[in-house]
Amino acid sequence: MRSGAHGGRLVVLYVVVTSLMLTLLGRLWYLQVTTGPAYARAATESRVRTVPLPSVRGQILDVHGHPLVANQTMPQVSVDYMALIHQPDGGRAVLTRLAEALRKPYQEIADRARLCSREVPRPCWPGSPYQPITVADDVDPRTVVRIAERQAEFPGVSTALRPVRTYPLHKAGAHLLGYLQPPSPSDRSGGPDLVGRDGLEAEYDTELAGRTGLREVAVDSTGKVTGLLREEAPHPGDTLVTSIDARIQELSERALAKAVTNARKRGEPADSGAAVVLEAATGRVTALASYPSYDPAVWSGGISQRDFEALPLVSNAVLGQWAPGSTWKVTSTAAAADAGYKLRASYDCPGSYKVGGRSFRNFDGIALGRMNMHRALVVSCDTIFYRFAERMWKHDGGLKPVRHPADPMQSMARKFGFGNRTGIDLPNESPGRVPDRAWKKANWERTRADSCRRAKTGYPDVADRKRAAYLKALAAENCQNGGVWWAGDAANFAIGQGDVLVTPLQLARAYAALANGGTVFSPRVAKALVRPDGSVVRTVTPPVTGRVDVSRRTLRYIRDALADVPREGTAAAAFKGFPFKRLAVAGKTGTAEAYGRQDTSWFASFAPAKKPRYVVVVVVSQGGTGASTAAPAARDIWEGIYDLHGKAHHKHAKKHGKKTTAGKHRHGHSRKAPRDASHNASHRASFEPARVGDAR
């Protein structure tokens, strides 16, 4: 009996052991036979790293073939991050010897060789650890040879001749051109070692970069490279030909900087600004200047986090937004005409006009008497536009608006392209703002809770008690009635104040539409992309995005009025002594108020007035009146474009090593202007801008 029980237990034990063995064998079979290839493939893949081989990046040229961004071959010293960290001391000894050879501080080299992270500030390497990390640019050739000859002392260090981006215009056009940086470590696309981060470099990055080569290397479990598996050669990028005129770009930058300097001498803060030059008939960009600027050569070396954060990287021409002031009146005039108001009728221009129980004043409260709309634009009467706006507001129902308000002024502003991005071939463009009833209500709903809270608590954080009291009263008003479109909102809108916002590029596009008869373009900087062999990949043409749907007679009336602004209107002082017989400039000043800040100075213009070729817009934030700051800068740009002082030919030709002939255009005509060149076809060359050093 006892032996039978013992035998039963052995049987159970045999069954259990057999089951475990079968389970183990089954698992081994599954791992080795069924999933074995997948594990083998994963193991192989984990031991392969792809390193991109950079191609030669395409140049960026101006409209005459002069380089805006070029490549210059320079000796560079790079380190292999993975090779360094696998050394016993993490590569410290190698970097110490390298710093001594380069005659640079050890910390400078070490900082550039480390990987960027949230805890590691610039300078650092933001790219892949498997890419060569450049730690020194433009190294003396003899130093390069010494490092190469003593390779045993510098394991993980390499030297090579590599193309480096150069910027012949230096600060001029920095925001327009953009800059390059290594791709982030998360980018596993096998792309180039440098990618465009802003401007044209970013917008046309794929075409400029070409086709990146690749090198596949085998690495061990620690990440150390053990061999080369495969390599594909890179292909150079395309050249980008732009509509930018390098000479006009430079003179626009100088004129803008001069305007800022002069404004500061008068006590204005003048903290930023922009200048835009467009071809009126095509929408092509001739110049796009932004202040303050910086020298993009800073990207070719290491840059500290502090210096990086201090760089003025915002392009005020496409990102800056300000109230346009009286430059906006061209849209309001077109809206008034479209609504049935006679432009040639006589209107009173009192010093102030009461709207909704509040007096809205002319500039300095000056009464200017009766006038037609031509004169109203020339002297920039505000009160006539207040009256138009109030009547249109009432026609739409006032505080009890009709179901579908016409909003003539907002509608006309949108026809000119305001309130939407222009679509220019540059990244990060601002949309501007055309406020109306719907916008104000939506904005009120978003901000009502905060307004009501501030109406109770006030602004104890604001040191200026007068300003704090004003803000508290404003918050109380917005808490209760912030969503109402008042008659005062309409009045402010009519003269480009209140909540209206435009970018300098948007204003330039609108004035181009006024100048060319109503065509609204989406501006373009690029003209063509060209392969390394010289064949054209594609041409770039600014698309038409809209029409200003008003009569040609109305547009011509406004243009004629603006032609008198520099001669006898608000810009007359800025254009005193200007040779109008050689170049008839038409334009409009703008002085936009902003609470807590000084006035924004604007001048928008086009020329020649009878047959406009270019549009020039200048803005200086906190620069004072439009006549005192922006208009003189625009005058400098016009004088430079058409070389009215006869200086550009010699300066630009000397810069590019050209021979010059005194007093001659490139067509051989004398620079002496005809009595009325705008009406004399035989002297058309007098109206051509000074295209010196033309490489076409």
Q: For 536-576, give the DSSP string.
A: EEEE--PPEEEE--S-HHHHHHHHHHHHTHHHHSTTTTTTT
CA pair distance 602, 596, nearest whole angstrom? 18
Confidence (pLDDT) at 186: 59
pLDDT tens column, 23-51: 777 667 666 666 656 655 555 545 777 76
Question: Per-residue pLDDT averaged across 524-531, rounded?
Answer: 98
Q: Give CA–CA dist 574/356, Å, rounded.
A: 36
- Within 343-462, strands assigned E span 347-349, 352-355, 358-361, 369-371
Band (76; pLDDT cuts 50, 70, 90): confident
pLDDT beyond 80 at 383: yes
Question: Could you give the count of Cα atoms lying within 13 Å of 493 in the half-sphere of its Cβ?
Answer: 29
**Closest alpha carbon to 541 in 526, 551, 555:** 526
What's the Cα-to-Cα distance from 56 to each of 131, 183, 239, rounded to whole Å?
A: 16, 16, 11
What residue type is 353 in one-letter code?
Y
pLDDT band at 136 (very low <50, low <70, confident <90, very high): confident
Looking at residue 61, its pLDDT comes to 98
Q: Which CATH architecture has domain 249-295+313-322+505-523+543-683?
A: 3-Layer(aba) Sandwich (3.40)
- Going by pLDDT thresholds of 50, 70 and 90, the confidence category of residue 119 is confident
Predicted pLDDT at 685: 31
**Residue 187 pLDDT:** 56
Q: Which residue has the higher pLDDT, 27 or 256?
A: 256
Top-confidence residue, 305 or 688: 305
Break the chain into its structural domains and give their ranges. Answer: 49-242, 249-295+313-322+505-523+543-683, 437-483
Percent of the chain with pLDDT over 70: 84
68-84 mean pLDDT: 90
What pLDDT does 648 receive? 57
Mean pLDDT for the stretch of residues 586-604:
95
3-class state of residue 241 by DSSP? strand
Does pLDDT of 234 surpass 90? no
**pLDDT mean over 462-466:** 88
C-beta separation of 547 from 415 below 8 A: yes
pLDDT at residue 695 tops 50: no
Whether residue 52 has pLDDT greater than 80: no
**What value does the mean pLDDT take over residues 214-219?**
77
Q: For position 688, what pLDDT does the model report?
A: 39
Cβ–Cβ < 8 Å for 431, 443: no
Query: Pick from 397, 419, 394, 392: which is nearest to 407 by CA?
Result: 392
Kindly give, in sequence order, each residue whose CB lies less than 8 Å from that of residue 308, ignoring residues fewer than 6 positions away. Answer: 122
| Least confident interval from 148-152, 358-362, 403-407, 627-631 | 148-152
pLDDT band at 437 (very low <50, low <70, confident <90, very high): very high
Which pLDDT value is given to residue 673?
A: 33
Task: Name the phi and psi angles at 526, rounded to 5.
Answer: -75, 145
The tokens for 493 are 């809108």
* pLDDT at position 36: 58
- pLDDT, residue 645, reads 86
- Section 9-30 average pLDDT: 70
Three-state secondary-structure class, residue 507: helix
- Cα–Cα distance measured from residue 379 to residue 384, given in angstroms and rounded to the nearest whole number: 12
Residue 672 has pLDDT above 50, yes or no: no
Confidence band, pLDDT 50/70/90 cuts, at residue 693: very low
Is residue 305 pLDDT above 50, yes or no? Answer: yes
User: Which numeric CATH code is attached to 49-242?
Assistant: 3.90.1310.10
Question: What's the confidence (pLDDT) of residue 675?
Answer: 29
The confidence score (pLDDT) of residue 690 equals: 42
Is the pLDDT higher at 649 or at 600? Answer: 600
Closest listed residue to residue 157, CA positions, set 167, 148, 146, 166? 148
Most confident stretch, 131-135, 310-314, 366-370: 366-370
CB 490 within 8 A of CB 392: yes
Q: Residue 657 pLDDT > 70, yes or no?
A: no
* 266 CB-side CA count, 13 A: 14
Which of 51-60, 284-293, 534-543 shows the lowest per-residue confidence on average (mean pLDDT)? Answer: 51-60
Band (662; pLDDT cuts 50, 70, 90): very low
φ, ψ of residue 160 to 5 degrees: the values are -165, 160
Least confident of 134-143, 147-156, 645-654: 645-654
Q: What is the mean pLDDT of residues 648-671?
A: 43
Window from 117-121, 241-245, 443-447, 642-646 with minimum mean pLDDT: 117-121
Mean pLDDT of 441-451: 94
Least confident of 68-72, 177-181, 664-668: 664-668
Residue 38 has a pLDDT of 60
pLDDT at 15: 66
Token representation of residue 264: 């500061």
Predicted model pTM: 0.82
Are 694 and 64 in contact by the 8 Å Cβ rule? The answer is yes
